[in-house]
Copies of this chain bind each other. A is one copy, B any other.
């Protein structure tokens, strides 16, 4: 591992000239440039970026805090992030946090310890909460699931409007007993989607029935258990709106195991439009989110923050789209 000094010796120039040749080639004479470049080649020189970053106090690395890296929705967001970061000359450090706040704080420290220039947080939690440095003094952007009141820039979906649309779709099909399998209690996503569901019911005068509510945690397992619980109610639903596709797929699985026909006997709706949503049977009616655009927007805003440019607007809302597939249909005639 040869150093810049070795290259300088080989080329018969000073280390400053080597550095200049590499950083600002147009400022050295062509003859020197050639000498230096062939010395670089000969020595197999690779600059020690630890030293470069240390010296320039910039790493050009960005940290991304991902709750669940295996989730195909997040995978698409990440893909958007990587593309956008790369085109701006930044590297991406992916951190799989499983929503563990200690892990998030630890990785966020990559920024406070200057191993990275900024953070993209995909969950509604401030990983710098216990840090001594003042809020919002460290470059961070909060996307997808965002904090309610935060000094950090945010990018989100209008979850309330999206859930309202999905519920309206079910109502339009003729459903009156529409259940909801919710996400984690503390998630703003859950609250907003639930609010949208209620909005839609209220708008058409369907009385809210809390026996049609079921807790979940966005996993297929919780959808599986939730479907069973809902169907065993005294007055079971004719449609189940799950706050995530993974839960919807779990619910679908239980219903089919239990001998129910979907959507003839009961409709299922999801949220996210993950890849398997179109590969399950029946394919899933869901809400599509512009996942890659989340990533692109997050990077754009974070880089602006890091490079000291003004951010306008500070909070962005991205568009959603209702995707109607096979899992939703009118309720059985006997039940309308």
Q: Residues of A with Cβ closer than 8 Å to B? A: 1, 41, 44, 46-51, 53-54, 57, 59, 61, 68-72, 74-76, 78-79, 82, 91-96, 107, 109-110, 112-115, 131-133, 220, 224, 249-250, 252-253, 256, 275-276, 279-281
Contacts and interface: CB of A to CB of B under 8 A. Distances in A.
Which of A53, A69, A95, A250 counts the most B-chain CB atoms under 10 A from its CB? A69
A79 B96 contact: yes
Nearest to A95: B94
Contacts of A107: 91
26 contacts: A44-B132, A46-B109, A46-B112, A46-B113, A48-B54, A48-B114, A49-B115, A50-B50, A50-B114, A51-B54, A61-B115, A68-B75, A69-B78, A69-B94, A70-B70, A70-B75, A70-B275, A79-B96, A82-B96, A91-B110, A92-B95, A220-B276, A252-B281, A253-B280, A256-B281, A276-B276
Contact of A48 (B78, B113, B281): B113
Nearest to A133: B44
Nearest to A63: B93
A113 B4 CA distance: 13
A95 B95 CA distance: 10
Contacts of A132: 41, 44, 46
A76 B71 CA distance: 12
Contacts of A51: 54
A249 B94 contact: no
Contacts of A133: 1, 44, 46
A143 B239 CA distance: 45
Which of A50, A68, A249 counts the most B-chain CB atoms under 10 A from its CB? A50
B220 A279 contact: yes
B53 A50 contact: yes
Given A79-B96, A93-B93, A59 B70 contact: no
A220 B49 CA distance: 40
Contact of A96 (B78, B114, B276): B78
B69 A59 contact: no
A112 B74 CA distance: 30
Q: Which 5 A-B pairs have the closest CB atoms?
A: A44-B132, A70-B75, A94-B94, A49-B113, A54-B54
Contacts of A48: 54, 113-114
Given A47-B113, A50-B114, 9 more contacts: A1-B133, A50-B54, A50-B115, A68-B75, A70-B71, A70-B74, A91-B110, A224-B279, A253-B279
Contacts of A53: 50, 115
A279 B70 contact: no
Contacts of A72: 70
A82 B131 CA distance: 23
A249 B279 CA distance: 7
A51 B115 CA distance: 10
